[in-house]
Structure formats: C-alpha cells, structure tokens
Amino acid sequence: MTGVFSGNKQSSAGGKLISLSALYLFSYYGFGAFTPLIMQYYQSINLTGTQIGLISATTPVVSIVTQPLWGIICDRFQIRKSVLVLTLLTSGLIGLLFPVVSTFALVLILYTVLSVFQSAIVPVSDSIALGYVKKQNLQFGDIRMWGAIGFALAAFLTGVMIEKWGPSVIFYSYFAAMVVSILFLRQVPEEVESAPKFTTGMLEGIKDLLRLPRFVLFLTASFFVFGSVNANNIWFSLYYQEIGGTIAGVGLAFLLFAGSEAPFMKLAGYFARRWGLELTILIAASVSAIRWFWYSSAPSTTAVIALFFVQGISVGFYLATAAQFVRENTPASLQVTALALFFSVGHGLGTMLCNLTAGWIKDNFSTLTIYSFFGTVTVIGLIPLLLIRFGPWKAAAEDKVDATR
C-alpha cells in the first residue's frame, strides 16, 4: 500500500508540473501570436510611428497601476488562481474585438482595456510557479522555458498564417491560446505554496520593498534592460522587413529567437549556482547591449538568423533568473507584490520609455537608430547591475530579507 500511495503522490506531483508547464506553453503562445506580429495589424490600418509608439506605451502605463493592484489582491485574499482565470479569459475576449476597429482612437482605447487584464498574467503565473518549484526543489527555468517554446511556435505559425489570411489571425490565435491556458490552469491547486498571512497595506508594502537597496537597484536595471527587450518585440518586425526580410521571415526569426531561450533557461539554474544570480544576470544584460548595437549596423537577414542564439543567452538567462532574484531579495509576505512592482517598472515604465522614443525615432530618423537607442539604454542598465554585484549592500540586504522570512 505504501508503494501505491507513494506512486500516487509522484503521479500527482507530475500532473501539477505538466499543468504548470502547459499553462506557460499556451499563455505565452498567445503572447507570441500577439506581440511580435501586432506591427502587421498597425501597418494594415496605416498608423504612424508616433501613433504606434503611443499605443505600445499603453500597456506599460497601465501596468504601473494595475500590476501592483493585482499583486495586492492576490497577496491579501490568496486567490491567485481565480485572478489568473479571470484575466486570461477577459483578455482573450477583448482580443477578439481588434479586427472590427481600424482607427487610432479606438485601437488606443481597446488596447488600454486589454492591458488592464493582460498585465496580471505574467506576475501571477510566475508567483504560482515559483511557489511550486520552491516546494518541489526544482528550477524555475524548467517551467518558464515552456513559455519560450510557446512564444516561439506562435510567432512562426502566426507569421505564416498572416501571409495567407491577413492580420486578423493574430487575435483569433490569441483568444484560443488564452482559453486553452485556462483548461490547464484548472489542474493547478488553488494554493501551490502556503503563503504567510498578509498584514501589510499596499502603500506600506511598497514602502517596505523600496527600503531594500538591492531590490531598488534591480528595479532600476530592469527599467532599462527589460524596456529595450520588450520594445524590440514590437519593433523587430518593422526592422527585419527594412533590412530585407519578409513577414514569414519575421515568424521564423522569432521561432529561432524565442526557441533559443528554452535551452538557455534550462541552463540558467546551472550557471546561477556556479556563478551566482548577480553575475548571470549581468552577463545576460551585457550580451543584450552588444546585440542592439550590432543590429543598428544593418547586418544581413542571414546573419541575424544565424546568430539567433544570442537571444537565448541574453533574454533566456535574464528571464529565468530575474524572478528568482526578486523572490530571494524580498520578504515572503510581499512576494506577488514585489513581482508585480518589478514587472510594472521593467515591463511597464521601461517599455513605455523605449516604445515612445522608438516611435519618435522612427518618424524622424530610421529604424536602425531605434536599435542604437536600445543599446544605449541597456548600457545604462548595466550600472545598477554592477553595483548589485560589486557594491556594499549584499550582506546587509540578505540579512534584512532573511530576518523578515
């Protein structure tokens, strides 16, 4: 009987792991169908670079407010799964409305509403997954890499479908992926990790987090590093076509780019243990800066495709280790709030700056200049990462966080 019981426990644990991995696979499939190819929709309704920049900045602006709020709701009421179901379904339904609008004002309004619900998906999913991997003594990158696989497959398949059926396929693919994500989320337990009682108000919680020097430095770094990474997802489609590529080629590029993230996310745990989280993140950000400056030199599409693995080294390492860094350097009672604040600054404010500036640069200079700008802001982001790795706060910060756990 003991053997049977043990086997059932192992089977149950394996089922949870599969469900979480599938949640990442399909939710990021939706993002992969939407984000890297949305430029094709914008061009089909004749938006200018400045208008595209303003729309693209909507999600970051909204995230600044909504991500911390979603985090507070999850931490206070411990309803992460319910919140995730709500946001996945609602964002998918809103996506279906895009094919029937074609003016800048209506697209801006629709994108704003979409962003309110879409902004919760990544931080809440990461909170659930991080709790699970901690309990099971696994690596977050082992689950997160399925998101990279889903994103890669969606970018390629959707790019091919756009050439056959037009940009509307973006939104139908997005909706379908969100619905399938919910089906797998149902297999995830309501409480993946026992969370401590939430006793801190929203403002007090944010104030507590902003008293941690390492966390504040990391927020600053992510503002610049993540800002350019996320903005690239919007502008790369235009860039690739300007250097001689096709829409299907954009899909192939993202298939290889995002696909390369998965094995490097798998390796991230090894390098983090060998080199430490700080050095792994610093290397990833440095490779990003080099990559953007290289893009600004107008390499051939063949060269861009051939060096696809550069994205794995930069983005794959960063994504797999950033959430872990936030978790290890913030109090346990504020885990979701800390992740939400991290995403609202990096994926929010930083992306807003990069998209607004990129839109202005596109109308007044060139797409190549956009990538010079991305390289410059990423170099700025290296400064706080160097301070985290070599600055004087490490021991004190760790002691303070440990004392609060």
Query: Does pLDDT of 206 surpass 60?
Result: yes
Q: What is the pLDDT of residue 64?
A: 77
Decide if 71 contacts 336 (C-beta within 8 A): yes
> Using alpha carbons only, what angle is made at residue 329 by residues 217 and 137, rounded to the nearest 5 degrees?
140
Q: What is the pLDDT of residue 91?
A: 96
Query: Residue 267 has what DSSP assignment?
Result: H
Query: Does pLDDT of 401 surpass 50?
Result: no
**Other Cβ atoms within 10 Å of 200 Cβ, number:** 18
Query: Binning pLDDT at 50, 70 and 90, where does residue 2 land?
Result: very low
Query: Does pLDDT of 325 surpass 80?
Result: yes
Can you tell me the mean pLDDT for 34-43? Answer: 91
Q: What is the residue-averaged pLDDT of the chain? A: 84
Decide if 57 contacts 347 (C-beta within 8 A): no
Query: Does pLDDT of 48 surpass 70?
Result: yes
Residue type, 324: Q
- pTM of the full structure: 0.75
Residue 341, burial from CB neighbour count under 10 angstroms (0-12, 13-18, 19+): buried
Query: Residue 330 has what DSSP assignment?
Result: S
Can you tell me the mean pLDDT for 326-353? Answer: 80
Of 280-284, 290-294, 329-333, the poorest mean pLDDT is in 329-333
Q: What is the pLDDT of residue 199?
A: 42
- The rounded distance, in Å, linking the Cα atoms of 151 and 260 is 11
Query: Does pLDDT of 195 surpass 50?
Result: no
Query: Does pLDDT of 248 surpass 90?
Result: no
Can you tell me the mean pLDDT for 351-359? Answer: 92
Query: Does pLDDT of 367 surpass 80?
Result: yes
- The rounded distance, in Å, linking the Cα atoms of 116 and 94 is 11
Can you tell me the mean pLDDT for 66-91? Answer: 87
Query: Does pLDDT of 18 surpass 70?
Result: yes
Q: What is the pLDDT of residue 235?
A: 93
Query: Binning pLDDT at 50, 70 and 90, where does residue 202 land?
Result: low
Model confidence over 117-168: pLDDT tens digits? 998 898 888 888 887 877 777 777 788 889 888 988 998 999 899 988 999 9
H or E stretch at 329: none
Which residue pairs from 244-249 have beta carbons closer than 8 angstroms and sit at least 24 positions apart in sequence? 244/300, 244/301, 245/301, 246/163, 247/37, 247/40, 247/159, 247/162, 247/163, 248/159, 248/160, 248/163, 249/159, 249/301, 249/305
Model confidence over 299-320: pLDDT tens digits? 999 999 999 889 888 888 887 7
- The rounded distance, in Å, linking the Cα atoms of 238 and 236 is 5
